[in-house]
Structures are given as C-alpha cells and as structure tokens.
Amino acid sequence: MGHGAWLEKRTPYLLSLARRLVRHHGIAAAAIDGPEHGERARTGEAWWTDAETDAMVADWKATLAACRARPEIGADVPLGYWGLSMGTIFGLPFVVSEPAVQVAVLGLMGAVGPTAERLAKAAAELTQPLLFAVQWEDEIAPRDKVIELFGVFATSDKRMIVNPGVHAAVPLETFELTEAFLAKHLASVTH
C-alpha cells in the first residue's frame, strides 16, 4: 500500500484499510514510507525523481520478498497494490515491474510534472485489472490530466470512480469500493 505526499505508512486511512483487508478478507497488507516521509524524512522536502522512483520500486520489491519469506504469508499468495496520489507516482512503476501483481487500485494522479512521461509509459504497460479514483475538483492533479492518464492504461479491465471534491476529500465509500475490488480480484486468483 502506498501513501500520499506529506503522509506516512501509519496514516489513518492506510491503517484502516489494511485492518479491513486483514480482518474481513484474510489479505495480508504492508506499507512502507516513501522518500522524505515518515521514518525516512530528512529534509522535509518531497521530490519525485526517476532515481527516487527506482529506489522506491526496489524498496517495495525488497519488502515483498521479506513478506513472502514469512511462513504465514508464503511465496505463492496473490498480490495486489493500492496507492493514491504519491502512492500512484511510485506504485504504478512498481506494479508494471512486478509480474506477481494481479490487481491495482491507483488514482488521484495524472500525467503531470516531472513524472508525467514515466507515468504515461508505465500506464501503457499496465495489463492488470485497475480501479482508478478521481476527485473532480482536484487542485493537485488536474482532471484533464487524470483522465488522460486513465485513457493510456493498456488493461481492458479498467474502471474509474469519480467523486466531487478536492484532492484530500476522498469519501469513505471510495475506500470501501477499493477494498471490495481488491478482495474480489485477489480471491478470484486463488480459486
């Protein structure tokens, strides 16, 4: 699970969603701090460069390996990814680089800023089922750029959840829908 900018791995919405996935669906969940966030904060400035993206993808792969080494999780469990905003900036490249990822929840991000080209390239490679969250009055990720990125995703199984409001006003209903989407797709992989 990937958190948004200026937040960290113990952000309440991540903890709540992780607990629901574990308790209601038996799905293990893990989150790590992004660069310059949480326990990794050094300068207080968040930057999203290719080098940081590469480092974050490597960190998630190491986290995945550590989780799969645990006997209660195992190496063969299906894998999903959930990350909005900065969780999409770093998570989308991870998802397309990790063949074990079966399903993804992304959103609150478009092809904007220094990561625009990399996000668009990764979106064109994504083939897993995707649920993409959008805030219609998003002041950080402009709606036209978000919809443009959504159009680039290569998967034939992509859905968009659109809600009114600004970037940080994601309603509880969206978290519930993303939980159900992950649970449904991960359960179908195991049967």
Task: Say if 184 falls within a structural domain.
Answer: yes
Q: Are strands 79-82 and 158-163 parallel, antiparallel or unpaired?
A: unpaired
Please give the pLDDT value at position 38: 59
How many structural domains is the chain composed of?
1
Strand order, beta sheet including 101-107: 79-82, 101-107, 130-135, 158-163
Q: What is the pLDDT of residues 25-38, one digit of tens each?
A: 999 999 887 776 55
Task: Say if 154 falls within a structural domain.
Answer: yes
Task: Say if 131 falls within a structural domain.
Answer: yes
Q: How many CA atoms does the CB half-sphere of 76 hold within 13 Å?
A: 3
Q: What is the domain-level CATH number for residue 56? A: 3.40.50.1820
Task: Say if 31 falls within a structural domain.
Answer: yes
Q: Does the pLDDT value for residue 39 go beyond 70?
A: no
Q: What is the pLDDT of residues 131-161, one digit of tens each?
A: 999 999 999 999 999 999 999 999 999 999 9
Task: Say if 4 falls within a structural domain.
Answer: no
Task: Say if 2 falls within a structural domain.
Answer: no
φ, ψ for residue 130 (rounded to 5)?
Answer: -135, 135
Range of the domain at 125: 12-190
Residue with tokens 């996935």: 21
What is the DSSP annotation of 100-169? TEEEEEEES--S-GGGHHHHHHHHTT--S-EEEEEETT-SSS-HHHHHHHHHH---SSEEEEEESS-TT-
Q: Does the pLDDT value for residue 191 go beyond 50?
A: no
Please give the pLDDT value at position 11: 87
Between the alpha carbon of residue 68 and those of residues 75, 120, 170, 188, the distances in Å are: 5, 30, 31, 20
Q: Does the pLDDT value for residue 49 go beyond 90?
A: no
C-alpha span between 109 and 120 (Å, rounded): 11
Closest CA to 35 of 81, 71, 3: 3
**Higher pLDDT pick, 3 / 181:** 181
Q: Does the pLDDT value for residue 180 go beyond 90?
A: yes
DSSP-assigned beta bridge partners for residue 131: 105, 159
Task: Say if 143 falls within a structural domain.
Answer: yes
Asked if residue 95 lies in contact with residue 121, where contact means CB atoms within 8 angstroms, the answer is: no
Task: Say if 86 falls within a structural domain.
Answer: yes
